[in-house]
Amino acid sequence: MFTVINQYFLSWRCFYPVLFTLCILSLFHQDLKVGLIFSLIAFLYWLKFFSLKKVTNKVDAFVVLFIVVCVISLLWEEGNSAFSNYIYGLSYTVLPACFYFYAKQLSFKEQNDVIKQIVYAVEISMFIGLLLYIAAPGFYIDFLLKKAIIPNDTLFQVRRYYQGLFGVTMTSSLCLYALIYELHDIQKKNKKRIPIFMLLFVLLIMTMRKSALFGFLFVVIFELFLSKKTNKKVILIILFIIAIIGLFAIREFPELYEAVMFRFSGEDVEDGLISRSTQATTSLANLENYMLGNGLGSAGHHAGMSTDLKVVIFDNAYLLLLCETGIVGLLAFVLSTFPVLTSKLVRNKNRYAYEIFIVILLQSLTSNMFEFIYIMPFFWFIFGVCVSCKYYKIKTI
């Protein structure tokens, strides 16, 4: 039995397809514990892929240090939060780190195959989410309510943003990462992917998430002005098509245009900054241990359900790490990313892994990315791919 699990269920070929399949099943069986099943799978990955002998460079050492600090912060429990909050933090932040070590053990071809399969799984889930968004069946509305994705069951709330299967923030982020991959695939003369790219872009606009939209803008600027390997002709053609689609949307759907403009208006941005500033000021003022924090999981969205907490961070992953794991945990994580950020991966012909890595770090300035079950395994895997490229001299990601 274990041989079957080891050969197929723990295979790199099936993790994200299995995870997304569980998400789809939860549409009909809303008590399905997707997070618990994910945690069990991730734990098995730890047993299979990690040993101290595989810590071979300074990035590995800092990643291990970060994980150790997270576990120590769980034992410290300075914030006296509910025990379930600490389990939540362990499951969604620490356990996915196994995919960092997993990626390093794969060949270049296997790494590419994993990323391609993840992207295709994301695209299928986006298409299913679009059908549900259009039809708005009762079970989908119940699913959104059960997951606290929408506040009530009106069609306005269901269709206010494109929520997909994961909620608007995770949906927009996964859509962005698939867009980055497709952008590079199109530059390799795979023009058949352009319609899929355009559909993903439209869905990204429909989410109206500023961090994801700014992330896409960053990648376009990065490709046009900072990379010498870009096929600029292809990028300009894509931008021209996007402009045509945009003009059509403004004419046919003026209310959508107005909604997007409001999301980027000074008023909306100012409200977001004030909210984040208030959270940060209040939480840091009440933080009892700056070195080790209040314990992993004690200050995020799950913990925020407790009304008596004074240290709660909803919209900045770095402040969240500071409050939960202290200066030591935040410093260990930042130091682990620094060698990759300062490397020359930008010169690679296939730069999508490096760009996705940077975009997730940028998004973490405005969202608690480390709490998202469908994103963190991908982040750690991409991190491992970038480290493999830097230290093992793989010429293309």
State both tokens at 363: 């998004």
Quote the pLDDT of residue 380. Answer: 94
d(CA 89, CA 81): 12
Confidence tier at 331 by pLDDT (50, 70, 90)? very high
Confidence tier at 394 by pLDDT (50, 70, 90)? very low
Lowest pLDDT segment from 210-224, 241-255, 256-270 = 256-270
Question: Residue 305 above 60 pLDDT?
Answer: yes
| Burial (Cβ within 10 Å: 0-12, 13-18, ≥19) of residue 367 | buried
Confidence tier at 295 by pLDDT (50, 70, 90)? confident
Quote the pLDDT of residue 125. Answer: 93
d(CA 393, CA 57): 13
| Burial (Cβ within 10 Å: 0-12, 13-18, ≥19) of residue 329 | buried
Conformational region of residue 326, where left means phi above 0, alpha means psi within -120 to 50, and beta covers everything else: left
pLDDT, tens digit, 9 for 90 and up, residues 1-49: 445 445 445 555 677 888 888 888 888 888 888 888 888 888 888 888 7
d(CA 105, CA 115): 14
State both tokens at 163: 């929520």
Q: Which residue has the tokens 């939860």?
A: 26
Residues 6+ apart with CB under 8 A from 275: 315
Q: Which of 152-156, 200-204, 220-224, 288-292 has the highest mean pLDDT?
A: 200-204
Average pLDDT (311-333) is 87
CA 361 to chain centre: 9
Confidence tier at 395 by pLDDT (50, 70, 90)? very low
State both tokens at 175: 């859509």
Q: How many CB atoms lie within 10 A of CB 274?
A: 10
Q: Within the chain, where are the H helices?
A: 2-4, 15-28, 34-49, 58-76, 83-89, 98-104, 108-135, 138-146, 155-160, 168-187, 194-207, 210-221, 232-252, 254-263, 266-286, 317-341, 352-363, 376-391
Residues 6+ apart with CB under 8 A from 144: 150, 157, 158, 163
Largest CA distance in the chain: 60
Confidence tier at 391 by pLDDT (50, 70, 90)? low
Question: Residue 396 above 60 pLDDT?
Answer: no
Average pLDDT (123-151) is 89
Question: Residue 340 above 60 pLDDT?
Answer: yes
Q: Which of 139, 128, 282, 133 is nearest to 207 (CA)?
A: 133
pLDDT, tens digit, 9 for 90 and up, residues 62-107: 999 999 998 888 776 655 566 677 778 888 888 899 899 888 888 8
Question: What percent of the chain clears pLDDT 70, i.e. is strictly above it?
Answer: 84
First CA to last CA distance, the chain: 35
d(CA 280, CA 52): 36
CA 155 to chain centre: 27
| Burial (Cβ within 10 Å: 0-12, 13-18, ≥19) of residue 368 | buried
Average pLDDT (178-184) is 93
Average pLDDT (303-317) is 71
Q: Look over the chain and give the mean of its residue pLDDT values, rounded to a whole number.
A: 82
Average pLDDT (369-373) is 87
d(CA 298, CA 74): 9
